[in-house]
Amino acid sequence: MKPVIGNWYRIQGSESFEVVAYDEDDGTIELQYFDGTVEEMDIEDWQAEKEAGTLEEVEAPEDWTGSVDVDPEEDDARGALGYGEDDDRRQSANRLEGLDLFE
């Protein structure tokens, strides 16, 4: 089982983590835990855990806010203000129209 970026795994006795980078040339895998902690693992260690049967693929957590440091209250407030809806709250750069940036 090669590590797949974006997939979640767990080593028995530890918390689940997401693979966020995999460098075959360097033989390293970058892991990010739900709380945002990032660690690096050697591919040899990954293979050893796999062969020992202690590495398993798991489902991603339902609450995606853990590793991105967003409080649920902030997310609720954004929804209440209408962010994310198609309500045309775009910023406009109308005063800059016609400006030639390459002069």
| Predicted confidence (pLDDT) per residue in 4-42, tens digit | 999 999 999 999 999 999 999 999 999 999 999 999 999
What mean pLDDT comes out for the span 75-89? 54
Phi, psi of 83 (to 5 degrees): -65, 145
State how far the Cα of 13 lies from the Cα of 30, in Å rounded to an integer. Answer: 19
Residues facing residue 30 across a β-bridge? 21, 40
Domains of the chain by residue range? 8-80
Model pTM score: 0.62
Q: Is residue 88 predicted with pLDDT exceeding 60?
A: no
